[in-house]
Structure 1
Amino acid sequence: MEEKYKSLNVIHKSANSRVVTVYLNRPARFNALSRDFFTEFPKALASLDESPNVAVIVLAGAGKHFCSGIEVDTLGSVAGESQSSDPGRTREKLRRDIKFMQDAVTAIERCRKPVIAAVHGACIGGAIDIITACDIRYCAADAFFSVKEVDLALAADLGTLQRLPSIVGFGNAMELSLTGRRFSGSEAKELGLVSKVFGTKEALEEGVRAIAEGIAAKSPLAVIGTKAVLLNTRDLTVEQGLDYVATWNSAVLPSDDLKEAVSAQREKRKPVFAKL
């Protein structure tokens, strides 16, 4: 029996598919991120990561928008809960709260399976933190984005300032983060934040599912290995990165997946890989 969440809806649309969609599920609040989200999201991802019936995870938003960012009440409660008569203890508690919220976003990178963001409508503030941690990003033509924290007298602290520069370039990340301006899906594509813009939300859902199914049909060892190598070598030198991937592949090359891939090529058929 699948677990029920307050802030999420996990949908496995077909028993024959190994693609699962995780919906941010507070449509009445434009999927604003509540305290529940930061507890439930890493738990949901860890569960899906361990399931052999899941190969790819699509992250989407229920209703009219992907996500409007962190709920103001959640921000207020974090600051309020951290109050103490001792300033040092107040700040230490606040730091732990921020690290707790950061950890929920970083759970996307910890997940071995690829996580694909499918963005429609608003993608603001904390939502940018989330999508920059995703492995692939797509959007609908109606999508709009904003690194909004500067307008709330904050520096974005859940990952945007660390991940966005490597995606769109340092100068673009600086401009977007300092101005907090709204930018469109087409500009997001030009910047490299998203890989493709689909005409409608429906086309986005259909297109992303087809892409996800294509990835899910590949060797799971090759897929999780590709994600792991890219993430773990992004801050290494080329030589260090080559050493890392040599170590990784020396562990998995003897797998049955390689034998099946070679046999399928020779026999001109689609390969069939064991679950992971």
Structure 2
Amino acid sequence: MSDYKAFRVELADKIAHVEINRPEKINAMNADFWSEIVDIFRWIEDNDEVRVVVLSGAGKHFSSGIDLMLLASVGSQLGPDAGRNARTLRRKILELQASFNAVDNCSKPVIAAVQGYCLGGAIDLISACDMRYATVDAQFSIKEIDIGMAADVGTLQRLPRIIGDGMMRELAYTGRTIDGEEAQRLGLVNRTFADVAALRDGVLDVARQIAAKSPIAVQGTKEMIRYMRDHRVDDGLEYVATWNAAMLQSADLRVAMAAHMSKQMPEFAD
């Protein structure tokens, strides 16, 4: 692990804790954030010791979204020619999208722990995670509509699969804020907690449960779920048959079955 400007990263008990670490700026997503998150998830992908990721924000808030100074710096690059401006903007948008694609494409489960503000780009980020948990007083909002733009880093593409098309449209068109309890009712978060301490304990408990399972089985399960987002049922069945033709030969299957029969906790290799 390297030193990061926008994040704090720790690895303990097979769990990588990735914390946005700009609390003095409400964890706004600056230029360092967008580049470092790609490097961090590349390290996570390459490190067999990591079995699950917890993504959180330092301080009172998860994140207020994209740093307005970053938007201003992009604006300063624009000139009088509309065609060249469009090329510059498109290149920057695709670059930002790639940062959250790195989260979505991670083969290990990623769990978001949300407190305080989760606004704009932060919704894009948690939409790329496998699961989301929050405090009851967390505040979620697709804020892009309020600054005169359409969300363009993943919310409009991923959120309908999480909360449904109709509710996504309502939140995206109005920009209204919902709290943790409503987020849970909508299915945006799996569970809510009374405060940050309870949130961290609850999320780490879920992470430990996942980390105790066969990493071959967990990553295979995630790959099958992700594949089915964009394919038909028969395509998914064909894919899992091919996948398991290889993966069922793993020693993890024998370890799990032996542990189950002896009523002991299994220990899986990385």
TM-score (norm 1): 0.96
Does 1:78 find its partner at 2:77?
no
2:32 is aligned to 36
**Within 5 Å, which residues of 2 pair with 1:202-213?**
202-213=197-208
How many angstroms apart in 2 are the aligned matches of 1:84 and 1:221? 51
Q: Tell me, which stretches of 5 or more residues in structure 2 are unaligned? A: none
How many angstroms apart in 1 are the aligned matches of 2:135 and 2:38? 26
Amino acid at match of 1:217: A
Q: 2:63 aligns with which of 63, 67, 71?
A: 67
CA-to-aligned-CA distance 1:22-77 (integer Å, 9 cap, x gap): 11010001000001111000111110221122111100000010000101111121
Q: CA deviation at 1:85?
A: 4.5
1:162 is aligned to 157
Does 1:246 find its partner at 2:241?
yes
2:189 is aligned to 194
Q: 1:56 aligns with which of 52, 56, 64?
A: 52
Segments ≥4 residues shifted beyond 3 Å: none
Amino acid at match of 1:193: L
Q: 2:146 aligns with which of 144, 147, 151?
A: 151
Q: CA deviation at 1:210?
A: 0.8
Give RMSD over aligned pairs.
1.0
- 8 Å CA contact 1:233–1:244 kept in 2: the answer is no
Amino acid at match of 1:44: I
Q: Tell me, which stretches of 5 or more residues in structure 1 are unaligned? A: none
2:41 is aligned to 45
- 8 Å CA contact 1:189–1:197 kept in 2: the answer is yes
Q: Secondary structure at the match of 1:232?
A: helix
Q: 1:256 aligns with which of 242, 251, 255?
A: 251
Q: 1:97 aligns with which of 92, 102, 112?
A: 92
CA-to-aligned-CA distance 1:180-223 (integer Å, 9 cap, x gap): 00101000000000000011100000010011011001000111
Q: Secondary structure at the match of 1:69?
A: coil
How many angstroms apart in 1 are the aligned matches of 2:79 and 2:174? 34
1:26 is aligned to 22
Q: Secondary structure at the match of 1:11?
A: strand
Identity %: 48
- 8 Å CA contact 1:128–1:147 kept in 2: the answer is yes
How many angstroms apart in 1 are the aligned matches of 2:212 and 2:74? 42
How many angstroms apart in 2 are the aligned matches of 1:117 and 1:198? 13
TM-score (norm 2): 0.98
How many angstroms apart in 1 are the aligned matches of 2:238 and 2:114? 36
How many angstroms apart in 2 are the aligned matches of 1:96 and 1:227? 30
Q: 2:134 aligns with which of 125, 139, 147?
A: 139
How many angstroms apart in 2 are the aligned matches of 1:205 and 1:174? 30
How many angstroms apart in 2 are the aligned matches of 1:222 and 1:141? 32
Q: 2:215 aligns with which of 194, 215, 220?
A: 220
Amino acid at match of 2:44: L
Count how many residue pairs are aligned between Structure 1 and Structure 2.
Answer: 270
1:11 is aligned to 10
Amino acid at match of 1:7: A
